[in-house]
Amino acid sequence: MSDAFRELLKKIGSGPHTGENLTRAEAKSAMEMMLQEVATPAQIGAFLIAHRIKRPTGEELAGMLDACETHCQLLPPLNASSPVVVFGCPYDGRSRTAPLTAITALILAAAGQSVLMHGGTRMPTKYGIPTIDVWQSLGVNWQGLSLSELQQVLTTTGIGFAYLPDRFELAFNLVTYRDQIGKRPPLATMELIWSPIAPPYHLVAGFVHPPTEDMFRDCLSRRGVNSFTLIKGLEGSCDLPRERTVIIGLVDDGKFERMHLHPREYGFAGQNVPLSNTTMDATSSLVAQMHAVLAGKTEEKEFIQSAIWNGGFYLWRCGLCPDIQTGVATAETLLTTGKAAAKLRELTAVLPLVTGN
């Protein structure tokens, strides 16, 4: 048992009247002791559930990310004309709506914008379809890459995926606690704004609850991240919904701007593409739809509309198009002319050459 960890646990677990928030240094220390398993399993489980009940602060998340940065080998900065876009989506995947991040990444990469994603395989508590499963069904296997191999693929193709067990095994070892406590711990919140690559980068993170956005802004400001995008997206992801107004936080050079994006004003009001379930059959059906969209087949109307809507917004946000209307037109062209599909073929060709498999 760690006496030092016990003191931090007592501080956050003493209830609403006597409990206290951790300082940034204390949060870093607590995260390090969990990563290195200096704390016992009982202490770690108690900390995670107590921290969830208390709710983390931006300062605490900053300290936890400080610890991750210390104990994880990051990709070196990308030598590119614009910072890589890092998409932060919930690791436990999607269970109600079709994930669009992979198609968005292909659109952006086809336009010259590098994209890096991260996550693991199916995780508690949702056990939804994770992004890596989508990529694998598309013929792209991100598992087992070394740091240098991932860097080479990202540099060559403009797309990368940091698989948690390969890139940050210490953090992956904590995943089992999520199932045991039956709730998402603050680690699941922290992951959304973690970056597997050293700066500069442009962080895009999804969220569900409005207080989370304020927490993210506080945390990122403390860590000196001055340009990022926060999306109240589908199931907490970076995917833009079509059935409601999208609430977005834009931060450039430390200046915050609130954006309310109305799909109907751009002709994209409609229904989000549903998932019937999260089985492998559902994944196969989803990927078949994605291939149809990449082939520009218009019979997948709702799916292709969602893909164009997302691609158009992010092309504008990344500075590749002067406005969203132009971004939408460009995204449609990249899909219907096969350029996004060609990027997928490039990726499937480059990965075996890099890994030797």
Q: What is the pLDDT of residues 220-257, one digit of tens each?
A: 999 999 999 999 999 999 999 999 999 999 999 999 99
Q: How far apart are CA 92 and CA 99, in angstroms?
A: 12
DSSP-based three-state secondary structure for 248: strand
* Nearest in space to 98 (alpha carbons), one of 340, 317, 288, 313: 288
- At residue 86's C-alpha, the angle toward residues 304 and 312, to 5°, is 30
The helix or strand, by DSSP H or E, that contains position 260, with its residue range, turns out to be strand 255-261
Q: What is the pLDDT of residue 341?
A: 97
Return the bridge partners of 47, or none: none
**Do 86 and 202 contact (CB within 8 A), yes or no?**
yes
Q: What is the DSSP code string of 261-314?
A: E-GGGGT--SPPPB-S-SSHHHHHHHHHHHHHHHTT-TTSHHHHHHHHHHHHHH
CA of residue 51 relative to chain centroid, distance:
22
Q: What is the pLDDT of residue 182?
A: 94
Angle, nearest 10°, between helix axes 339-355 and 324-336?
Answer: 70
User: CA 62, 63, 68, 70 torsion: positive or negative?
Assistant: positive
Long-range CB pairs of 208-215 (<8 Å, 24+ gap) are 208/232, 208/235, 208/236, 210/247, 211/55, 213/249, 214/58, 215/56, 215/57, 215/58, 215/61, 215/189
* Nearest in space to 326 (alpha carbons), one of 299, 308, 305, 304: 308
Residue 17: what residue type? H
**Positions of the chain with pLDDT under 70:** 277-282
User: Which CATH number is 3-71 given?
Assistant: 1.20.970.10
- At residue 297's C-alpha, the angle toward residues 343 and 326, to 5°, is 65
Location of structure tokens 């390090």: 32
Q: Where in the chain is the domain with CATH 3.40.1030.10?
A: 84-346
Architecture of domain 84-346: 3-Layer(aba) Sandwich (3.40)
Q: Which phi and psi (to 5°) does residue 242 adopt? A: -115, -10
Q: What is the pLDDT of residue 279?
A: 67
Q: Report the predicted TM-score, pTM, of the whole model to 2 decimal places.
A: 0.96
Strand-by-strand arrangement of the 255-261 sheet = 159-163, 115-119, 84-88, 201-206, 228-231, 246-252, 255-261
Whether omega for the bond prior to residue 131 falls within 30 degrees of 0, making it cis, is no
Q: What is the pLDDT of residue 284?
A: 81
Q: What is the pLDDT of residue 277?
A: 67
Q: Where in the chain is the domain with CATH 1.20.970.10?
A: 3-71
Q: What is the pLDDT of residue 81?
A: 84
Q: What is the pLDDT of residue 278?
A: 63
